[in-house]
A = this chain, B = another copy of it.
């Protein structure tokens, strides 16, 4: 059913297609991916064939030319696999590491990185966070120094989703001596180059996605590796983070709705003291409150996405949507676990996995606290 003003019948159709795909090709196997700690690369090619990898990219780079709400649909529906890892890895591929190439890249960079990425042939990752600078982009220490016709990269990046197997990284490094926000630049770095050292990291959740710590030991990249303008890396990456945060909010909606659906179905079916669990008012009201919380985050995210698609959006609005949806999904999934009781704690149901997975929503793409700093700054509270 169309859902004005955001979704048309076309979005609905796409939603059904994705939902079917998820049910048939992801949900049945995702537990294995979780077990081995990575998804199979085949699935990217398969999704590219189905037209799921470039929904809101233009056809000339291999995209489907859809609007931003197509991306929202995809994020919501992928979350219904009950595992956050693979959707996160996919979002890195399509909405985090690659949009800057489309936006700031040369024709050659687009041909070499973006188009293969959207075909599922190259795996992308994004290098912002460093071991000593969690959320502090201004503190980035990885250096890229000009040498001859190219650059020499030295430094470390951590918590890199897709890192262990990625073919290239969209990397933020310091190219100037000005401290803080200035003097950062973006690079596209092939990860088979000498001097790239990766260490796999072990996470408590999101386990169908693999994560790495990178060390770049005097890695030599050509001049053409520079993405966008030299010294503008901070602004480029701030732009990227907007999309990253918004798609994370959309994914949170999908996860929360799925957890709610599971808990509601369970509570209706489960009998306790001779009635169904929803016959207990505290459970019924809790479900009503969960639905309300989901709806609030949903409307906030949709409104933000609507404005984002039109370019009339501030970092504050996106940070708010991300903050609200991250807290919401954590609360909703936690309550769903509680409703299932002991069953929520064991792996027979996807909720224990989702509970671990969604915890990252309050940490990744900027912690809750960083979101609040961004918001308070735009509210004019920070610098008075």
Footprint of B on A, CB under 8 Å?
280-282, 285
| C-alpha gap A349/B281 in the complex (Å) | 28
Bound-state Cα–Cα, A282 to B284, Å: 9
Could you list some 5 contacts between A and B, CB below 8 A? A280-B281, A281-B281, A281-B282, A282-B282, A282-B285
Closest chain B residue to A285 by CB distance? Answer: B282
> Which chain B positions have C-beta within 8 A of A282?
281-282, 285
In angstroms, how far is the closest chain B Cβ from the Cβ of A363?
21
Chain B residues with CB below 8 A from A285, complex form = 282
For the complex, would chain A's binding face be called helix, strand, loop or mixed by DSSP majority? Answer: helix
Give the residues in chain B near A281, CB-CB below 8 Å. 280-282
Which 5 pairs between the two chains have the least Cβ-Cβ distance?
A281-B281, A281-B282, A282-B285, A282-B282, A280-B281
Q: How many whole Å from A277's CB to the nearest CB in chain B?
A: 12
A339 CB, min distance to chain B CBs, angstroms: 14
Question: With the chains together, A281 CA to B285 CA distance in Å?
Answer: 10
CB nearest neighbor in B for A281: B281
Distance from A67 Cβ to chain B, minimum over Cβ atoms (Å): 42
Report the bound CA distance from A271 to B282 in whole Å: 19
- Cα of A280 to Cα of B284 in the assembled complex, Å: 12
**CA gap between A381 and B264 in the complex, in Å:** 43
> For the complex, what is the distance from the CA of A282 to the CA of B285, rounded to whole Å?
8
- Per the bound structure, the CA–CA distance linking A285 and B282 in Å amounts to 8
Which residue of chain B has the shortest Cβ distance to A286 in the bound complex?
A: B282
Output the least CB separation between A328 and chain B (Å). 21
Distance between Cα atoms of A280 and B280 in the complex (Å): 9
A282 shortest CB reach to chain B, Å? 5
CA distance A281 to B281 in the complex (A): 5
Closest to A279 in B: B281
CB-nearest residue of chain B to A283: B281
In the assembled complex, the Cα of A282 lies from the Cα of B288 at a distance in Å of: 12
A17 to B: closest C-beta gap in Å: 41
**A68 nearest CB across to chain B (Å):** 40
**Least distance between A286 CB and chain B CB atoms (Å):** 9
A285 to B281, CA, bound (A): 10
